[in-house]
Structure 1
Amino acid sequence: MAGGISLDTIANKVENGDRLSLDEGVYLYQDDVPLNEVAALANLVRERKNGNFGYYNINTHLNATNICVYRCNFCAFRADLREPRGYVMSDEQIVARGQEAVDNGCTEMHIVGGLHHQKKYEWYVNCLRILHDAFPTLHLKGWTAVEINWFEFLTKKPVEEVLTDLLDAGLGSMPGGGAEIFHREVRDQICEHKANSNKWFEVHGTAHKLGIKTNATMLYGHIENAFHRIDHLIRLREQQDLTGGFQTFIPLAFHPDNTKLAAMRNLKKPSVLMDLRTMAISRLMLDNFDHIKAYWIMLGIETAQTALAYGADDIDGTVRHELIYHDAGATTPEVLSVEDIRRLISETGREPVERDTLYRRVERDPANPSAWSVGEQVAVGG
């Protein structure tokens, strides 16, 4: 017991639906707190909210360029302008990626990338527009808060005006990237020049005001500690209290390969036990988030499966053409089939449910799986 905190007192609060404090969250990270008991509490919350469902979607990624003005030392994806590995996709390549997505039954395209300092704002807007014009049923989940902040710099427009431009071009929702760790002690060391935590929240809060649903993330397992992680989760929880616009939270395990940060600090990938403990604690702390995602690309397939008993209710999707985490050493497959995804969920005893980006059930034509329609919103309790 630490300062009157014990697993029993935390369990009583969880069972009663009461909110956990920062100190209680930090306590749950102690090695001597049994992980299986933390998992059981997280699973209780998970099943209150999502029953026995395990959600997935059929999606693809578009990273239109890896050339980036920022030099975040945890990133293995970015390239300099003159590096041989640097690239920029043409309009034709972008539309071809959209066609491939539609032909394979994708409901979502996840669009993020580098901040190319020689590309004008209109180029980024055009990425959305040409895809939306050609494939109006494909949901475009695009541009992190860091990218929106860059667009703000390029145009001298306020965030709301930038987001309105993107909505007009076909934006459907926003990913949660760029959050990393909010606390300045850590953020200033791993990504000192890009959008700070206040800007990240301003962008997401403004998006929520405009009716744009967004996700949230946390990059863990590098130089941060338990306090920084719980502080991060509480800031997200407070924003959700204000605006209610976050759909899902995705804890992202740091992949050290090919990153400057790992070379500087001799860092290793987080252990499976750290992955699962962080998943469970995230579910317990974020009582006002409906969904917690186990991103199989970063966690690995077996850990993502296991996470469905540690608070997660979603394992993302087929994820065609993911580059960012594979460049950082992810050894997971570059795409999973729908059959694989459904089998992975079923093997855990969960019921696989295909959802779209906005967590509505997707109905497929059995005779033509690339033909689909949107059904009812998934049921969320608690």
Structure 2
Amino acid sequence: MTDATKSPSAADSRDMADLLARAADGERITPEEALLLYTDAPFHALGEAADAHRRRRYPDNIVTYLIDRNINYTNVCVTACKFCAFYRAPKHAEGWSHDLDEVLRRCSEAVDLGATQVMLQGGHHPEYGVEYYEELFSAVKKAYPELVIHSIGPSEIDHMARVSNVDIDEAIRRIKVAGLDSIAGAGAEMLPERPRKALAPLKESGERWLEIMEQAHNQGLRSTATMMMGTGETAAERIEHLRMIRDVHDKTGGFRSFIPWTYQPENNKLKGRTQATVIEYLRLIAVARVFFNDIAHLQSSWLTTGKAAGQLSMHMGVDDLGSIMLEENVISSAGAKHRSRLSELIDLIRSADRIPAQRNTTYERLAVHWTPEDDPQDDRVRSHVSSIVDLPIVEKQAAQAEKKPVEK
């Protein structure tokens, strides 16, 4: 059969195989090609291409994890995002703010449990300007210089600058001097205009979010990039989100990792009308690995997708399984019930035929667990050991999620 008489399906199959081969080899692919891979590539072939890309970058077969704590200083917020179950409007009876002593107490607990990073995040409080964050970051850095402050995001920076009536560059410079080491990818949600306006009409645009990230990168702060999927966005909008991030990284080289996660449907205004499937998530993970050929790390979100999906993601190009979050309130408020102990997270990595290693914020490997004999043994290190609610309630919820009885 000549080329001229081959069926379109055969030609399409050949073109897809060529595209997958180029992606596996680390060649740069276009957004149009990324969309084609996301919607049409055979699932296993897509995963194999992404994993081949990972192996070329990390031939030692190591998958990393982090020990950190998310400390939320307030749930008072003026943005009223429709997917958020955590925030309360100003003057709401359930609104709260932690004082500095409470934040430092939680930092102390994190250090005691081996955390190397804290993520200080909260709502867009109408009274919290740059001065508030200067005091917060400087106090944490003075008390616990060993902790990396990987915190806030462009949305908070935009808000604090407006409250203090300063420009973005000044706000970034001042909080960096105060102790901010790294910027979280918080607030990205969906960057394209249509879904972003539907989700968070009071927030800055996706272009503004990226502009602030670019300004931070230009001041020497590096960051992560995130994406929330499953709120009714199209496949094309998901890929456009990736394209927007890659364009900024091309200019700054400032994103150290990409972390997609899935919308959680409880206790928020969207009420779970649309959600991403595990297969959609895994396909996005694989496409992200081959599309972001210059962003070093890809982290999956077992917190939102579950530990089984987290383990599968390691066969779709992931080189980082995220953290044992000693505290997490925002996503949990919307129904994320997944919990893990350090030993369990390490076992997920090892049973996926990968070598586990603890890392820090910049992905420096602090301890490589080459054999099971190297594994740390500390049952205190588990996700969500503390929260804004009473510890017994947290333990009860975790036990119910795992269908285990609560110890008396």
Are positions 1:351 and 2:360 aligned together?
Answer: no
Are positions 1:44 and 2:48 aligned together?
Answer: no
Q: What's the secondary structure of 2:325's corresponding residue? A: coil
State the distance in 1 between where 2:223 and 2:52 align.
25
Task: Please tell me whether the aligned partners of residues 176 and 215 of structure 1 are also in contact (alpha carbons under 8 angstroms).
Answer: yes
Are positions 1:332 and 2:333 aligned together?
Answer: no
User: Whose Rg is larger?
Assistant: 2
State the distance in 2 between where 1:4 and 1:33 align.
11
Deviations 1:351-381 (A, max 9, x none): 01111001112159x9x999xxxxxxxxxxx
State the distance in 1 between where 2:25 and 2:360 align.
32
What is the aligned counterpart of 1:284 among 290, 293, 318? 290
What is the aligned counterpart of 1:98 among 99, 107, 122? 107
Using the aligned pairs only, state the percent identity: 29
State the distance in 1 between where 2:341 and 2:266 align.
26
Are positions 1:229 and 2:229 aligned together?
Answer: no
Task: List, as ranges, runs of 4+ consecutive aligned residues in structure 1 with deviation greater than 6 Å.
Answer: 1-5
TM-score of the superposed pair, with normalisation by structure 2? 0.84
Are positions 1:127 and 2:131 aligned together?
Answer: no
Report how far residue 124 of structure 1 moved: 2.5
Q: Which residue of 2 aligns with 1:182?
A: 191
* CA RMSD between the two structures: 2.1
Q: Which residue of 2 aligns with 1:322?
A: 328
Deviations 1:6-29 (A, max 9, x none): 421312322443211222111123
Q: Which runs of 5+ in 2 are unaligned?
A: 1-7, 369-373, 379-408
Taking the TM superposition and a 5 Å limit, the aligned residue runs for 1:106-125 are 106-125=115-134
Task: Please tell me whether the aligned partners of residues 31 and 240 of structure 2 are also in contact (alpha carbons under 8 angstroms).
Answer: yes
Task: Please tell me whether the aligned partners of residues 105 and 369 of structure 1 are also in contact (alpha carbons under 8 angstroms).
Answer: no
Q: Which residue of 1 aligns with 2:43?
A: 35
State the distance in 2 between where 1:177 and 1:315 align.
18
State the distance in 2 between where 1:22 and 1:120 align.
38
TM-score of the superposed pair, with normalisation by structure 1? 0.90
Q: What's the secondary structure of 2:134's corresponding residue? A: helix
Report how far residue 69 of structure 1 moved: 0.7
Q: What's the secondary structure of 2:182's corresponding residue? A: coil
Are positions 1:67 and 2:76 aligned together?
Answer: yes
Deviations 1:155-206 (A, max 9, x none): 2222221111111111110111111112112111111211212221121111
Are positions 1:360 and 2:364 aligned together?
Answer: yes
State the distance in 1 between where 2:377 and 2:267 align.
38
State the distance in 2 between where 1:129 and 1:158 align.
21
Q: Which runs of 5+ in 1 are unaligned?
A: 371-382
State the distance in 1 between where 2:255 and 2:128 align.
30
Moved more, 96-105 or 74-83: 74-83
Q: Which residue of 2 aligns with 1:208?
A: 217
Structure with greater contact order relative to length (CA < 8 Å, sep ≥ 6): 1
State the distance in 2 between where 1:127 and 1:135 align.
12
Deviations 1:14-65 (A, max 9, x none): 24432112221111232x5321111001101111112311110111111111
Paired residue type of 2:322: D
Instruction: Sort the Cα spacing of 1:361 and 1:72 in 2 relative to 1 into closer, same or farther, 3 A.
Output: same
Paired residue type of 1:95: L
Report how far residue 4 of structure 1 moved: 6.3
Task: Please tell me whether the aligned partners of residues 302 and 310 of structure 2 are also in contact (alpha carbons under 8 angstroms).
Answer: yes
Q: Which residue of 1 aligns with 2:248?
A: 239
Instruction: Sort the Cα spacing of 1:348 and 1:4 in 2 relative to 1 into closer, same or farther, 3 A.
Output: closer
Instruction: Sort the Cα spacing of 1:325 and 1:138 in 2 relative to 1 into closer, same or farther, 3 A.
Output: same
Deviations 1:272-323 (A, max 9, x none): 1111111111111111111000122112111111101111110111101101
Report how far residue 337 of structure 1 moved: 3.2
Q: Which residue of 2 aligns with 1:271?
A: 277
Moved more, 166-175 or 10-19: 10-19
Report how far residue 122 of structure 1 moved: 1.9
State the distance in 1 between where 2:208 and 2:87 align.
22
Number of residue pairs the alignment of both structures matches: 362
Task: Please tell me whether the aligned partners of residues 126 and 163 of structure 2 are also in contact (alpha carbons under 8 angstroms).
Answer: no
Q: Which residue of 2 aligns with 1:375?
A: none
